[in-house]
Amino acid sequence: MSHRIAILGASGYTGAELVRLIATHPTMEITALAGERKAGMAMSAVYPHLRHLALPDLVRVEDVDFGGIDLAFCALPHGTSAEVIAGLPRDLKIVDLSADFRIKDPAAYETWYGKPHAAPKLLPEAVYGLTEFYRDEICAARLVAGTGCNAATGQFALRPLIAAGVIDLDDIVIDLKAAASGAGRSAKEHLLMAELYENVLPYSMGGKHRHLGEFDQEFSAIAGRPVRIRMSPHLIPAARGIVVTAHVKGDPRAAHGALSAAYAAEAFIHVLPFGSLPQMKDVRGSNFCHLGVVGDRVPGCATVVAVLDNLTKGSSGQAVQNANLMLGEEETAGLMLAPMFP
Amino acid sequence: MSHRIAILGASGYTGAELVRLIATHPTMEITALAGERKAGMAMSAVYPHLRHLALPDLVRVEDVDFGGIDLAFCALPHGTSAEVIAGLPRDLKIVDLSADFRIKDPAAYETWYGKPHAAPKLLPEAVYGLTEFYRDEICAARLVAGTGCNAATGQFALRPLIAAGVIDLDDIVIDLKAAASGAGRSAKEHLLMAELYENVLPYSMGGKHRHLGEFDQEFSAIAGRPVRIRMSPHLIPAARGIVVTAHVKGDPRAAHGALSAAYAAEAFIHVLPFGSLPQMKDVRGSNFCHLGVVGDRVPGCATVVAVLDNLTKGSSGQAVQNANLMLGEEETAGLMLAPMFP
Amino acid sequence: MSHRIAILGASGYTGAELVRLIATHPTMEITALAGERKAGMAMSAVYPHLRHLALPDLVRVEDVDFGGIDLAFCALPHGTSAEVIAGLPRDLKIVDLSADFRIKDPAAYETWYGKPHAAPKLLPEAVYGLTEFYRDEICAARLVAGTGCNAATGQFALRPLIAAGVIDLDDIVIDLKAAASGAGRSAKEHLLMAELYENVLPYSMGGKHRHLGEFDQEFSAIAGRPVRIRMSPHLIPAARGIVVTAHVKGDPRAAHGALSAAYAAEAFIHVLPFGSLPQMKDVRGSNFCHLGVVGDRVPGCATVVAVLDNLTKGSSGQAVQNANLMLGEEETAGLMLAPMFP
Amino acid sequence: MSHRIAILGASGYTGAELVRLIATHPTMEITALAGERKAGMAMSAVYPHLRHLALPDLVRVEDVDFGGIDLAFCALPHGTSAEVIAGLPRDLKIVDLSADFRIKDPAAYETWYGKPHAAPKLLPEAVYGLTEFYRDEICAARLVAGTGCNAATGQFALRPLIAAGVIDLDDIVIDLKAAASGAGRSAKEHLLMAELYENVLPYSMGGKHRHLGEFDQEFSAIAGRPVRIRMSPHLIPAARGIVVTAHVKGDPRAAHGALSAAYAAEAFIHVLPFGSLPQMKDVRGSNFCHLGVVGDRVPGCATVVAVLDNLTKGSSGQAVQNANLMLGEEETAGLMLAPMFP
């Protein structure tokens, strides 16, 4: 039997990616699509690549009949999402792809997002949606907070190293390369083909990137003491994909061992043999994350590289993975699509 | 029950694309992978994006045990393919992705490919693999010849117009835009990122492109008299995708009507409303072909645009579609993957 | 002695390209830069790639002191440009890069641009800025109308063929490939890296592209009777560059001969040997236009390919070329920069 | 009066870039072009973008008459270059773009390049070609060794910091992003458009990149003790450009101050205001290097970003800059071409 699914905020890239994934999902069925600015339009008018699908037209969120919905994905903007979710039926399962429920501490949320949290009462029940590390809580959750796409990539590279105590917690640098779709379908000059083509653009450097809030929360929790990493993000001339190059101090083979052990049973996380590194394109369009570790010529230093597709494993694929668990399905249902190369 | 599949020539792009598609196919199982130069290697060493799959290692074609194989895809180079196929068991079903069995007339083959055909005795039984137009023959075939990727795109745009008699047969121009993967995994200067990036490169213009041999054969057969189109191919700075812009003479609405009627029941071919045109990216990674027609300000002239993914609908997806029919499966089995956008 | 130059509308791509070219021009000096939305800003804040230059800050057009200006380039939006130019001193030399003075007939202007012309009294004195064909008039002109970038490319390919009477005037098809910067620095969804990357996007097909107004005017004048071509434009995933593929009927060698003869003495126009075609990247960043002709296998048919850089030879380079003539300088002054490859 | 120039190894990208730059150089004239594999060909057949220039045909090195040559640029492969240079006239000025004379210590050369040095007797007279830091020696030199393109970028970011003693010498990490042309015109699978497009590819990580030999030599010399940095290079989907993101420990404002002071009088090196960072495209096609510094939220940590064009400031532009000095010309002669954006 199919689960009836609503997507709120379906007109953005993560909304379209949810539709793409659910299109071949064995037990999910899209019952409602909502999007403010595009309400009244056919989804195929907003995203012609979906024209082969029989989809409901876009409506306003308030016009969705949630009575028959089993689970809603919220791909709304930060701030709006918390407001909307606060007004949804209490028995509706929700996977939120915004940033609103990622940060447990409302004060920290306000620091990073520049405004008070819109629904602080819901924060305690929200489960952080990094499936591989919160599986049990997600199975039991009503509200799951999808992680930041960069935050997911960095955590896949670093959580096991922090947990295993094999790296220096005070000297972690993430050099991040992120493709343009991570900025959403927002028409801004620096995201234009004419400008980003043949370009690399540093942004939010020096500790300003909001996903640091997630790193701080999660890494500190694992370590049992404050951990504050450094992160240098760069926009790269590509549509999809994230590369985290983590420069860490610790024994490289111990780091590789910790990653291999942590992910040995994971369907979506692949650790390459020691000394091999993944390329970004190897996971494009898929729910996989590839990881590699090399030792440096400088003893006691290692480089960890993690790659994933920001729209899939970094957001919408992760969201479906979490929804699978919440709905009692196989975690991998609908998500074993092979990466697209070349 | 699964059909046991061999892929001969698995180390090229079409081979890798076959593996990608079969990875989520409900009733196909890869039993053997063969590739001359890469024999002895793991497929994941040749294509790391496939490392999540349990695949047999690459072997030499002569080391494949065809006893347990139900169907073989041959993605070998032109010339080699015919030779190899001539030596395969007579009861093995074969989908050939090379050019060797596309051209029925051995003399025409020699004209276009510059050498005598290596297995002319097999030509009579080979069925041309444009599924939507040779469905019945393909269902009954032992040997199916996959079409050229550009030839497929152009035929989707033009066959119904020729069949319906709504365009001038002596004045058909195809302006073709083709992405780099159509040239295969061959390391040539003009295919380098440094050279093709920010470039458009005309090639094989003036009547030299080999896929014209297919157009001549097919269009003449439909028309019942010789038809020789003009075609101007361009390499474009992209990895996947083909755009055919066909400039024809005839009533635009009649042209649109002919296309709409021809494809009304087709799962993979979508004709847009009159006056709307598809973009290349809308079918990326999928088995779909999108078509559109606009009328020109010059009366009696129309422009037809067809887009597809050269590695999917243009070759490996088409091959799986044909194999589905040959194996008695649903034609769409494993092929309803939604396009990847953005 | 240097000529004192003002650029009105300096914050767009053609404005920035003018600055790039004038930066190494031997006898031009930028005295004023004007731009409405960016007035008050340093040019290096709008375009950091120009930060090595000592440039005046951006001001509003009305704050420019035209007293000391010898020539003004107007790179303002269509409509605005005519209004502004109507208010400029009568003795100021002007090269307009907008569409406002390209079309001689105000009624035709209104048809193509959807509003009445803002300064019809100036139309008679405006000279069409295709330098190679209006050289004498431009030398004597006060107001020169820069051509459309696509219109320039198509005219370089076709004017000599029409003038020589070697092609069928009623059967000319231009298949156009245009890079993203031709659409200007305007933040629109379809121009985003995430969307245009790995894409080809047909637009303004069927006779809607405004540059057809220029083709109609010019080709009809040459032919001495109405000529209406067909044109199919496509956006391609590149930042700079235009490819015109002209499908014409006529003797290919006669066509090649007409082009070779027409451009034999031209510094910027290069006709390749018969049968060779140019690639788009070969002229990037330069004021050159490369042309080639191939004959088709269908007798009496030829394909002409023209490539140029839309921001240089297609607009700002052409503008400087015209300004050189208007100021009594060498036509090639400052414009012999070699193309950038790869 | 013009200096007569020979380019040995003119068929590679750096050779073509030398021709591009010399094309508008006021006092250089290309007298001979040599290239082994392409000997006998016109340069315009190898690089059609140079077809507007009157250039000598390519010949074999042994067929060049060095009698009338003032200066030779050697853009030959590593190893070959030293051999060829050893056989050139002793009074010929030479700028070598290969790696052969960058490393002063023949043992270190052998370690990094895997074979004994082919002309160790010439090593003592070779001057390291980082113009801004070896200006006086270069003015007096006969043989100048052009730096590695990545090595140049990293040194522009770090030399002043090491010299000023404002960063921890034992904790320097360079995260490098390099475009495809840095790998030369070599047809390799991983450099294909189809593979590198939409990709990021880590390479030579962990201390294997040969340019580390230059960093070791130079940084240790400045510091007066061994300095061994860590470097993580990535191939990015672009044709030209390098981004160095240097993660260092030290006071960010002191770092910015050191850079600003070091480059205050330099024509080609621009340090942005504290807290601003450059983008890669801002220097494309030019001889400029842009630098920026941001402080991190973690106290005592800074990120320095340096961008340049690998083919210009990273190799051929630097080579012309050095040649200018060796020939007694203005250092900036022919090199003030503005960057090309977009």
Domain count along chain D? 2
- As a whole number of angstroms, the distance between CA A127 and CA A135 comes to 10
Listing DSSP states for C184-207 in one string gives -S---GGGBHHHHTT--EE-STTT
User: Who among A175, A212, A238 is closest to D245 (CB)?
Assistant: A175
Listing DSSP states for A75-95 in one string gives -PPTTHHHHHHHTS-TT-EEE
Assigned domain for B112 exists: yes
Beta-carbon separation of B342 and A278 below 8 A: no
Q: Mean pLDDT across the stretch C270-298? A: 98
Beta-carbon separation of A206 and D239 below 8 A: no
Nearest CA in chain C to A184: C194
Beta-carbon separation of C270 and D52 below 8 A: yes
Assigned domain for C129 exists: yes
Length of chain D: 342
Q: Could you tell me if D103 and D230 lie in one domain?
A: no
pLDDT surpasses 80 at A248: yes
Assigned domain for A213 exists: yes
The pLDDT tens digits of the residues spanning C105-125 come to 999 999 999 999 999 999 999
Assigned domain for D340 exists: no
Consecutive H or E run containing C80: helix C80-86
Interface of A with B (CB under 8 A): 13, 16, 19-20, 23-24, 47-53, 181, 185, 197-198, 239-240, 267-268, 270, 278-279, 281-286, 288, 290, 336-342
Nearest CA in chain C to A239: C194
The pLDDT tens digits of the residues spanning D78-124 come to 999 999 999 999 999 999 999 999 999 999 999 999 999 999 999 99
Q: Could you tell me if B112 and B197 lie in one domain?
A: no
Q: Could you tell me if B217 and B281 lie in one domain?
A: yes
- As a whole number of angstroms, the distance between CA B316 and CA B338 comes to 16
pLDDT at residue C226 in the model: 98
pLDDT at residue A36 in the model: 86
Q: Could you tell me if C141 and C180 lie in one domain?
A: no
Q: Could you tell me if C300 and C317 lie in one domain?
A: no
Q: What is the CATH number of the domain that holds C157?
A: 3.30.360.10
pLDDT surpasses 80 at C1: no
Q: Mean pLDDT across the stretch A69-95? A: 97
Beta-carbon separation of B198 and D13 below 8 A: no
Q: Could you tell me if B172 and B112 lie in one domain?
A: no
Q: Could you tell me if D168 and D102 lie in one domain?
A: no
The pLDDT tens digits of the residues spanning C304-336 come to 999 999 999 999 999 999 999 999 999 999 999
Q: Mean pLDDT across the stretch A242-250? A: 98
**% of chain D at pLDDT higher than 70:** 100
Both structure tokens of D158: 């770090």
Assigned domain for A245 exists: yes
Q: Could you tell me if D196 and D162 lie in one domain?
A: yes
Tally the C-alpha atoms within 13 A of residue A168's C-alpha that lie toward its C-beta: 14
Using a CB-CB cut-off of 8 Å, the residues of chain D touching C196 are none
Q: Mean pLDDT across the stretch A142-161? A: 98
A149 is catalytic: yes
Cis check for the bond before D226: say yes or no (omega within 30 of 0): no
Q: Could you tell me if B87 and B190 lie in one domain?
A: no
The pLDDT tens digits of the residues spanning A186-198 come to 889 999 999 999 9
Q: What is the CATH number of the domain that holds D132?
A: 3.40.50.720
Split at pLDDT 50, 70, 90, the class of C100 is: very high
Cis check for the bond before D89: say yes or no (omega within 30 of 0): no
Chains in contact with C via at least 3 Cβ–Cβ pairs below 8 Å = A, B, D
Beta-carbon separation of B193 and D237 below 8 A: yes
Both structure tokens of B44: 């994941």
- As a whole number of angstroms, the distance between CA C143 and CA D219 comes to 58
Both structure tokens of A39: 């309400």
Query: Are the C-beta atoms of C337 and C181 separated by less than 8 Å?
Result: no
Report phi then psi at B24, rounded to 5: -115, 20
pLDDT surpasses 80 at B257: yes
DSSP annotation of B177:
E
Using a CB-CB cut-off of 8 Å, the residues of chain C touching D23 are 336-338
User: Who among C180, C198, C238 is closest to A192 (CB)?
Assistant: C180
Q: Mean pLDDT across the stretch A192-220? A: 97
Instruction: Kindly name the residue from B74, B139, B149, B301 that is annotated as catalytic.
Output: B149
Q: How many CB atoms lie within 10 A of CB D168?
A: 12
Q: Could you tell me if B66 and B207 lie in one domain?
A: no
pLDDT at residue A60 in the model: 97
Q: Which of A24, A43, A52 to mutate to test the interface with B (most CBs of B within 10 A)?
A: A52
Q: Name the residue among B195, A45, A116 with its Cα closest to residue D16.
A: B195
pLDDT at residue D167 in the model: 98
User: Who among B173, B208, B295 is closest to C206 (CB)?
Assistant: B295
Give SS3 for D285: coil
Question: What is the pTM for the complete model shown?
Answer: 0.98
Assigned domain for C204 exists: yes
The pLDDT tens digits of the residues spanning C24-57 come to 999 999 999 999 899 999 999 999 999 999 999 9
pLDDT at residue C307 in the model: 98
Using a CB-CB cut-off of 8 Å, the residues of chain C touching A237 are 193, 197
Interface of D with B (CB under 8 A): 13, 179-181, 183, 185, 187-189, 191-198, 237-240
DSSP annotation of C15:
H
Q: Mean pLDDT across the stretch B254-262? A: 98
- As a whole number of angstroms, the distance between CA D173 and CA D206 comes to 11
Length of chain A: 342
Beta-carbon separation of A196 and C191 below 8 A: no
Q: Could you tell me if C215 and C67 lie in one domain?
A: no
- As a whole number of angstroms, the distance between CA A254 and CA A256 comes to 5
pLDDT at residue B334 in the model: 98
Q: Mean pLDDT across the stretch A152-175? A: 98
- As a whole number of angstroms, the distance between CA D93 and CA D28 comes to 14
pLDDT at residue C201 in the model: 98
Low-confidence ranges of chain D (pLDDT < 70): 1
Give SS3 for D323: helix
The pLDDT tens digits of the residues spanning A278-291 come to 999 999 999 999 99
Split at pLDDT 50, 70, 90, the class of B36 is: confident
Beta-carbon separation of B194 and D197 below 8 A: no
Using a CB-CB cut-off of 8 Å, the residues of chain B touching A198 are 197-198
Beta-carbon separation of C341 and D47 below 8 A: yes
Q: Could you tell me if A61 and A166 lie in one domain?
A: no
pLDDT at residue D117 in the model: 97
Query: Are the C-beta atoms of D24 and D7 separated by less than 8 Å?
Result: no
Split at pLDDT 50, 70, 90, the class of C183 is: very high
- As a whole number of angstroms, the distance between CA A210 and CA A176 comes to 13
- As a whole number of angstroms, the distance between CA C47 and CA B325 comes to 58
Give residue C12's domain range.
Answer: 3-147+313-326
What is chain B's mean pLDDT, rounded?
A: 97
The pLDDT tens digits of the residues spanning C184-225 come to 998 899 999 999 999 999 999 999 999 999 999 999 999 999
Assigned domain for D77 exists: yes
Assigned domain for D332 exists: no
pLDDT at residue C36 in the model: 87
**% of chain B at pLDDT higher than 90:** 99
